[in-house]
């Protein structure tokens, strides 16, 4: 009988998405246990699934479906609590793990991401195409995604996993001495640089027996197409689900919006820059409640709703606020079929390293900020924010976001959903 030596390790995933005006910062940690075994032979890279062509649209559709399933699972388990996730970041994490998975774990990740019968190579190429497409470099709205892997000195990755991480996910791969206090400083400086100073510190410490940190940053900055006049900000009530009331500073603007009103909801679009990215706000009608409205919005229903938006003149009022959210995704992912990856006796990650791996936990943290400009500018930049005229417009609607609402940040060109939030209390 073999004797197995248990070695504790930490695998961390951090996705930082900075949206100013709407800033979303998402952080995911994955902790795992590595077990050293004798005589584990190198696994040759091979394709286990057929390779049908996977266009970018198919990948986006799959990520949107995954995001809705995860969002629904979380909202049901956290009744009347804020939920704010970045489906794209989480799907990217699982896609990278997919490169190291084999057997039943590989099949479960494929099924959970709605990518059955798609090979790793095909998925990687589609992710690369989508990644390059999302990396816009326009000043008024841009999204920059970066990846990095930080391994303990002496730790080695499978050749193909390392190659795929660099080729398709542009990952920076570095070995560090985690017993040194300098290790966390190096990683923190990298995060600070990639988030343009939005995050100064993400690692409090590292331990000598830590093995691997996977850090992903996705930074989005969007200048509202039309900003809000800060001189018009006034305190107004926000009505919570328990009938209590809290006052928030409300921004207001009259203008022309893409707007929709149905017997179930009211919705409005706030575009960034040239309109590729937008914030969509959905408010349930007074006789309905937010959870019922959200449950009724599927990917197909969302597409139908967006097609019904019409340009209308009106008054929009919404709170100016900062929101922090944190959740352990382990149970939610298990409910969605990601089960063996969390089981030390069943997890199969033989293509990641020569050490069999299982995921001990997955934690996701986000931060959401809504303000009047829609952008955080560097000190050296002077930005002129266009604001709407307050001339006498014929108002066709009046929408005040003064009770729980659904928010979605969407890439209008690809259809990808970058962030989803059910906000009960800003």
Of 147, 151, 161, 220, which is closest to residue 190 (Cα–Cα)? 147
Q: Name the pairing type of β-strands 212-222 and 141-152.
A: antiparallel
Answer whether residue 336 shows pLDDT above 80.
yes
Confidence (pTM):
0.81
| Cross-strand bridge partners of residue 411 | 277
Same domain, 282 and 407: yes
Q: Find all residues with CB under 8 Å of 13, minimum gap 6, and list them.
A: 28, 29, 30, 93, 214, 215, 216, 362
Q: What's the CA gap between 250 and 46, in Å, rounded?
A: 56
CATH of the domain at 336: 3.30.497.10
pLDDT at position 12: 46
Provide mean pLDDT across the span 193-216: 75
Residues 68, 296 contacting (CB under 8 angstroms)? no
Q: How many domains are there within the chain? A: 2
Answer whether residue 327 shows pLDDT above 50.
yes
- Comparing 52-66, 250-264, 326-340, 373-387, the range with the smallest average pLDDT is 373-387
Same domain, 248 and 261: yes
Same domain, 172 and 190: yes
Same domain, 312 and 195: no
Kindly report the backbone phi and psi dihedral angles of residue 158, in degrees, each rounded to the nearest multiple of 5, phi listed first: -60, 145
pLDDT at position 145: 72
Same domain, 153 and 167: yes
Tens of pLDDT, residue by residue over 3-34, are 333 333 444 444 444 444 444 545 555 544 44
Answer whether residue 73 shows pLDDT above 90.
yes
Provide mean pLDDT across the span 221-248: 89
397: pLDDT confidence band, cut at 50, 70 and 90? Answer: very high
Q: What's the CA gap between 253 and 370, in Å, rounded?
A: 14
401: pLDDT confidence band, cut at 50, 70 and 90? Answer: very high
Same domain, 118 and 34: yes
The two tokens of residue 386 are 């266009």
Same domain, 110 and 217: yes
Q: Find all residues with CB under 8 Å of 18, minimum gap 6, and list them.
A: 24, 25, 195, 196, 198, 199, 219, 220, 221, 376
- Comparing 48-57, 71-80, 405-414, the range with the smallest average pLDDT is 48-57
Provide mean pLDDT across the span 257-261: 95
Same domain, 345 and 412: no
Work out the mean pLDDT of the chain and round it to a whole number.
78
Same domain, 131 and 252: no
Same domain, 248 and 210: no
pLDDT at position 88: 85
pLDDT at position 219: 64
Indicate the Cα dihedral angle 413, 418, 420, 426, nearest 10°: -110
CA 26 to centroid of chain Cα atoms = 6
CATH of the domain at 419: 2.30.39.10
* Domain around 63: 5-223+323-368
Provide mean pLDDT across the span 68-77: 93
**Dihedral sign, Cα of residue 412, residue 409, residue 196, residue 164:** negative
Instruction: Say how many C-beta atoms besides its own lie within 10 A of residue 49's C-beta.
Output: 17
Same domain, 166 and 289: no
Same domain, 219 and 339: yes
């Amino acid at each position: 009988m073999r004797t197995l030596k248990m070695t504790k390790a930490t695998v961390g995933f951090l996705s930082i998405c900075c949206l100013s005006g709407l800033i979303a910062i998402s952080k995911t940690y994955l902790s795992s246990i590595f077990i050293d075994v004798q005589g584990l032979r190198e696994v040759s890279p091979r394709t286990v699934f057929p390779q049908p062509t996977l266009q970018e649209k198919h990948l986006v559709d799959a990520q949107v479906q995954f995001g809705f399933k995860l969002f629904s699972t979380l909202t049901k388990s956290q009744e009347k609590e804020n939920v704010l996730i970045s489906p794209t970041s989480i799907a990217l994490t699982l896609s990278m793990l997919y490169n190291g998975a084999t057997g039943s774990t590989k099949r479960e990740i494929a099924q959970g991401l709605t990518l059955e019968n798609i090979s790793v190579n095909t998925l990687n190429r589609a992710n690369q195409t989508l990644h390059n497409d999302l990396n816009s470099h326009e000043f008024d709205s841009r999204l920059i995604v970066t990846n990095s892997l930080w391994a303990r000195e002496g730790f080695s990755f499978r050749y193909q996993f390392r190659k795929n991480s660099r080729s398709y996910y542009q990952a920076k791969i570095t070995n560090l001495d985690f017993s040194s206090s300098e290790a966390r400083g190096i990683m923190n400086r990298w995060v600070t640089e990639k988030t343009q100073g939005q995050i100064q510190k993400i690692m409090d410490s590292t331990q000598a027996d830590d093995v691997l940190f996977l850090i992903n940053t996705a930074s989005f900055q969007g200048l509202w197409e039309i900003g809000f006049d800060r001189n018009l900000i006034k305190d107004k009530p926000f009505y919570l689900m328990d009938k209590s009331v809290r006052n928030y500073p409300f921004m207001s603007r009259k203008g022309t919006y893409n707007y929709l009103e149905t017997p179930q909801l009211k919705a409005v679009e706030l575009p960034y820059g040239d309109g590729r990215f937008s914030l969509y706000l959905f408010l349930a009608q007074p006789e309905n409640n937010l959870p019922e409205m959200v449950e009724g919005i599927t990917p197909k229903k969302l597409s139908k709703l967006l097609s019904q938006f019409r340009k209308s003149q009106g008054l929009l009022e919404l709170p100016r606020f900062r929101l922090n959210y944190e959740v352990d995704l382990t149970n939610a992912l298990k409910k969605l079929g990601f089960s063996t990856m969390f089981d030390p006796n069943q997890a199969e990650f033989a293509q990641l390293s020569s050490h069999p791996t299982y995921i001990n936990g997955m934690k996701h943290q986000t931060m959401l900020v809504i303000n009047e400009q829609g952008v955080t500018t560097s000190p050296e930049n002077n930005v002129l924010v266009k604001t709407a005229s307050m001339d006498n417009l014929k108002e066709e609607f009046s929408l005040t976001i003064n009770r729980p609402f659904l928010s979605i940040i969407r890439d209008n060109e690809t259809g990808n959903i970058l962030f989803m939030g059910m906000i009960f209390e800003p």
